[in-house]
Structure 1
């Protein structure tokens, strides 16, 4: 009888909880969805150069599309050149007859060597000088994947979502400073749901105590710490570079593909139920176009010229992240640890 009762409770929970979550997220999306800012508000970007990481799909692809529509030259990055070229084809068709000044480049943020190769290729585009770079949107990411490591031996979510982008900014810093660029880091409200203390500095290369959601939250927390520290350093140097972080919203993109993989592995009986629950929850998600609006706002809005070290949420609204993200000592520690991880990678590759 107890086993039967327990089974009944679990079954009810599997059905009821996703429905409640779906209602919650529908209210959450409605709260943030706003007609105040639309694609029509994006100013002319003619003469601007932008890089958007992870932009062959999802909100990154929309970001490239709208920047290109407004006249910018945009570098679309993708781990797969073939997928990047298909995305470019889609974008050019969508904005026709407007010119489609989009270049596709291969970039894998989980490989620091690949990050360097991409940056060197970009810098080579302006021989004898510093290339123009007005907008850098750090959009690429992985979410809630099983424990694995980058080729540099770092936990995958931290290594891709934070460390790869950290190294990319360092490699492109002269261009960013020269152009007084806007650096937009795509974080998430999931930064509130990471590990206690924000960053587990002693376990960035270890599976001990790993959880898929904790690690994702940690990487998004690191995104905000990094953005804030970059803003501090740029202000101190007087470079004119600005750095801000954004939460794009609850969006149904293929970023959640690892959740679907996990559901598929639960077995013939449970997988269909969890799959239905997954669909119920994500049926409340924002449209991809809406999800790209906040990062486009921060990247282009004239009224944000000079605004730095801030955090924005949907749609195009200034917000307040966890107070711990403003801890300067924590920001500086993340920066130093990130430098050490990059240095260790270079030493291994040069050995």
Structure 2
């Protein structure tokens, strides 16, 4: 399916003062985009390889989404999250999740002060711009449940009062998929709150040698490039990335293929998928695709952007049948099969017409 479409153009101002204001706004946009790419360079000064993980972390920030990094120990999950927080600026807190953690340790609690004979609310470490939830699957169910309101509504309710979190707010979580001692698997409702689940693999031999050279003497220190205000503007720019109707329709077809696979030529998956992905996946595919398009220097969304983020957005939201789990079927492979069968549209932007 091929459709030629005029590329949406931003409105043009008329008049001297309006032209000057438009030029200043365009200059500000260019400066913000340059800072975004400089931030990517700063992160890669510290993190060797792992380009997929670094790109997804920045895309999650632009899409106002949370990111779950999954991998064995020592593959730079925590280092990547803390480095990104340093480069972007703003406030940062790291919480090491353990089995004895309680909800008040992260969201806050009421504290009685004998001198004033009153209770005051002490806010927890989640009241920052960037929260690193290290080894999140080590926390018990009560703590994980306390994060649901934090991640979805970006607020905390304590003593009958609602306390909004600072903007921007992003949770960067890590987990080790191979451990079973003292581990509480994340429930489906919490996995659904994460925009991405990114699997972090071991580095290659070439990257391992570069890690040895770069980190064994004096590790590089990242420099702050962005700030919360600039990040908020970049998030607004990501939301303004144009989405063609055919691309939106493609996103919906991908999602519906997980719920009614037989109707989309995937009858073999009917015995594999128990419950398809939620509407958060639909919104997540668009938001993540827009962020990726902005990172790649475009103000319009292509089907390839959607395909690139589909596994990271959809796989952790799929619920497989008991037989599929017993056969150790990987949800990521299910999503890749859907991408093979559901055809993308071919959208050609008309750049000549202005």
TM > 0.5 fold call: no
User: Which structure's relative contact order is higher, taking Cα pairs within 8 Å and 6+ residues apart?
Assistant: 2
Higher percent of residues as helix: 1
User: Which is strand-richer, 1 or 2?
Assistant: 2
Q: TM-score, normalised by structure 2?
A: 0.30
Provide TM-score, normalisation by structure 1: 0.30
Determine which structure has more spread, i.e. the larger CA radius of gyration.
2
